[in-house]
Amino acid sequence: FRHSYSQLQPQSNRPSFGIAFDIDGVILRGRTPIGGSPQALRRLYRDDGTLKIPFLFLTNGGGVPESKRASELSELLGIQISRRQVLQGHSPFKEVVNGYENELIVAVGKGEPAAVMSEYGFKKVLSMDEYASCFKDIDPLSHYKTWRIKQTYDENSSKELLPRYDVYSDRVKAAFVVSDPIDWGRDIQVLCDILRFGGLPGRDKGHQPPIYFASDDLEYQAAFPTERLGMGAFRIALEGIFNSVSSSPLKYTSFGKPNPFVFKNAEVILTQLVSDIFHSQDNMDGGTGHEFSTLYMIGDNPKVDINGAMKAGRPWFSILTRTGVFRGKDNDTQFPADLVIDTVEEAVDYILKRER
Ligand code: G3P
Ligand code: MG
């Protein structure tokens, strides 16, 4: 759904600032709101529930389409969040659809990685679960695994059932790590097969197809007291193993923060949100004429959130909270934020006072 941005506002009332919120370690830990996040976010809405201050979520996480993540966040936080306000690690994957629209690709990770890619316009997508299940014995440890995944071959016969696509002669043209992989052992094995054998596991060696990662976070803050290994850790594991079994080193591309283009994109979306909130007569510019004097990035990870805002430069202003990866008393030494504060609630309070 969309917000009802109904009121016409004079241009002078347009806020000259916007806010990007990191999710894990700032807004949520696991599925639990932290740092007074629901109260903080409520302050960005009018009494009638419409948006007052342009804001979005800028997370390296993901695994479900943006529309679904928006509904999940709305429910957890008790506010109305639109799909456009959710930028996930994999959101930029839609920009590379052109090369692969009708090509076979494999989507890896927790949640619904194939649904994410289909929504971006990729027409021939298989999740790693489905792809791996097409190849009998590709994972020699599968019989020891107590969890069940959807099988597309008949376990009682040596014959594979027909998969949706001809995976035995159709090469995988690219692999996309959409979200944190669940079964690292199988996924590293099968990705090595795809990457070493030119997209056809069990065949002769071939050119490495491209592999894209939604982000490169070594660690992130989840519900456990200390950090958990993220997609960057998986990338290191895959790369270390691939480079040991292959004659040429792994070539890969990572998206997500701290890449400055992620912040540039956030700025574009925030500008469009201003146009939506204030969809006024002067909206002939298509939402690109508005200039922010300040864009706030509120994050918990200096290496990712603060470093990213620093690289993006003006008008970004970075705020580091102590509810996630960073727990220090003073500022981070390597990537110092413009402001260090305990919680997201205090951060929003600071911003609203500063912008009054
Ligand atoms: O898997 C999620 C993690 O990599 C980071 O999420 O919201 O802190 O950018 P976030
Ligand atoms: Mg975080």
Gap between the Cα atoms of 266 and 215, Å rounded: 16
- The candidate with the shortest Cα–Cα distance to 351, out of 18, 52, 12, 49, is 18
- How far apart are the C-alpha atoms of 65 and 300, rounded to whole Å? 24
Cα 133 to Cα 104: distance, rounded to the nearest angstrom: 16
Q: What is the dihedral of CA 118, 120, 122, 128, to 10 degrees?
A: -50
Q: How confident is the model at residue 339 (pLDDT cuts 50, 70, 90)?
A: very high
| Rounded mean pLDDT, 32-42 | 98
Before 163, cis peptide (omega within 30)? no
How far is CA 32 from each of CA 11, 38, 77, 211, 344, rounded to the nearest angstrom?
Answer: 38, 11, 9, 33, 14
Provide the edge-to-edge strand list for the sheet that holds 174-177.
124-127, 104-108, 174-177, 211-213, 253-254
3-class secondary-structure state, position 55: strand
Across all residues in the chain, what is the average pLDDT? 91
Query: What pLDDT, on the 0 to 100 scale, is given for residue 205?
Result: 83
Mean pLDDT of 290-303: 96
pLDDT, one tens digit per residue, over 209-243 is 999 999 999 999 999 999 999 999 999 999 999 99
Give residue 148's pLDDT.
Answer: 74
Q: Which ligand is nearest to the CA of 302?
A: 2
Centre of ligand 2 to C-alpha 286, Å, is 32
The pLDDT value given to residue 350: 98
The β-bridge relationship of strands 55-58 and 86-87 is parallel
Return the ligand 1 atom nearest residue 57 CA: 7
pLDDT in tens, 172-205: 999 999 999 999 999 999 999 999 999 999 998 8
Pocket of ligand 1, candidates 22, 59, 77: which has the most ligand atoms within 8 Å of its Cβ, to mutate?
Answer: 59
- Give me ligand 2 centre to Cα 347, in Å: 15
Residue with tokens 């705020």: 319
Q: Could you identify the atom of ligand 1 that is nearest to the CA of residue 180?
A: 1
Query: Residue 286: is its pLDDT beyond 90?
Result: no
Task: Name the pLDDT band for 15 (thresholds 50, 70, 90).
Answer: confident
Ligand 1 centroid – CA 149 distance (Å): 26
- What ipTM describes this predicted complex? 0.98
Nearest-angstrom CA–CA distance, 167 and 176: 17
* C-alpha 167 to ligand 2 mean position (Å): 37
Alpha helices in the chain (DSSP H): 37-42, 66-77, 97-100, 113-119, 128-133, 184-196, 231-245, 260-277, 307-312, 344-354
Q: pLDDT band at residue 13, thresholds of 50, 70 and 90?
A: confident
Predicted local confidence at residue 112, as pLDDT: 97
d(CA 44, CA 163): 48
Q: pLDDT tens digits, residue range 114-146?
A: 999 999 999 999 999 999 999 999 999 999 998
Convert 25-59 to b/e letters by CB count within 10 Å (16 or more is b). bbbbbeeebbbbbeebbeebbeeeeebebbbbbbb
Atom of ligand 1 nearest to the CA of 324: 8
Distance 11 CA to ligand 2 centre (A): 34
Q: Give the residue carrying structure tokens 């020891």.
A: 144
Q: What SS3 class is residue 19?
A: strand
For ligand 1, what atom is nearest to the CA of residue 257?
Answer: 9
Q: What is the pLDDT of residues 249-270, one digit of tens each?
A: 999 999 999 999 999 999 999 9
CA-nearest residue for atom 1, ligand 1, is: 61
- Per-residue burial over 295-329, b = 16 or more CB atoms within 10 Å of its CB, e = otherwise: bbbbbbbbbbbbbbbbbbeeebbbbbbbbbbbeee
- Atom nearest to 230 CA in ligand 1: 4
Centroid of ligand 1 to alpha carbon of 310 (angstroms): 18
pLDDT at 91 over 70: yes
Question: In the chain, what are the domains?
Answer: 11-89+257-354 (3.40.50.1000), 91-254 (3.40.50.1000)
Ligand of minimum distance to the alpha carbon of 216: 1
Distance 226 CA to ligand 1 centre (A): 14
Burial of 187 (C-beta count, 10 Å sphere; 0-12/13-18/19+): buried
pLDDT for the residue 204: 85
What gap in Å lies between CA 256 and CA 23, rounded to an integer? 13
pTM: 0.92
Compute the distance from residue 23 Cα to the ligand 1 centre, in Å.
7
| φ, ψ (nearest 5 deg) of residue 268 | -65, -45
Pocket of ligand 1 (CB under 6 A): 22-25, 59-61, 180, 215, 217, 220, 230-231
Helix, strand, coil % over all residues of the chain, rounded to 5 = 35, 15, 50
The pairing of strands 253-254 and 211-213 is: parallel
Residue 289: pLDDT band with limits 50, 70, 90: low
Q: Is the pLDDT of residue 92 over 80?
A: yes
Mutate to test the pocket of ligand 1, among 21, 24, 297 (most ligand atoms within 8 A of CB): 24
Mean pLDDT (whole number) for 334-356: 98
Residue 10's pLDDT band (cuts 50, 70, 90): very low
